[in-house]
């Protein structure tokens, strides 16, 4: 499903125009991005939780050559699905 498909589904479900659904979806995604940029945890009950997790610097290897490399520390977005979402997917 693409963003356009999601906008169409939201528009049909909420009885909105595609333009209004697109604006609403963009606002939701922007709010999620802003909260994650501030390292805030976002919990959507029944859906799941988004949070930023820190990855420490570590040693790795180049899979092509086997040469050792240093992997820098970084932050990554982590999503944990809620029980209702997991049950629905099963």
Say if residues 25 and 62 touch (Cβ distance below 8 Å).
Answer: no
Sign of CA dihedral 70, 71, 74, 80: negative
pLDDT at 64: 94
Which H helix or E strand runs over 13?
Answer: helix 3-14
First CA to last CA across the chain, in angstroms?
19
Please state, rounded to an integer, the average pLDDT across all residues of the chain: 96
Nearest 5°: the CA angle 13, 11, 40 is: 90
How do the domains of the chain map onto residue ranges? 1-38, 40-90
CATH superfamily for domain 40-90: IHF-like DNA-binding proteins (4.10.520.10)
pLDDT band at residue 1 under the 50/70/90 scheme? very high
pLDDT, tens digit (0-9, with 9 covering 90-100), for 38-58: 999 999 999 999 999 999 999
pTM: 0.80
């Amino acid at each position: 499903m693409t963003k356009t498909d999601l906008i169409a589904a939201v528009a049909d479900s909420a009885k909105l125009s595609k333009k209004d659904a697109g604006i609403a979806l963009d606002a939701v995604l922007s709010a999620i991005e802003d909260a994650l940029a501030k390292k805030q945890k976002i919990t959507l009950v029944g859906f799941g939780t988004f949070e930023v997790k820190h990855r420490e610097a570590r040693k790795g290897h180049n899979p092509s050559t086997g040469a050792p490399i240093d992997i820098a520390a970084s932050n990554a977005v982590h999503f944990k699905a809620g029980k209702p979402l997991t049950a629905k997917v099963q």
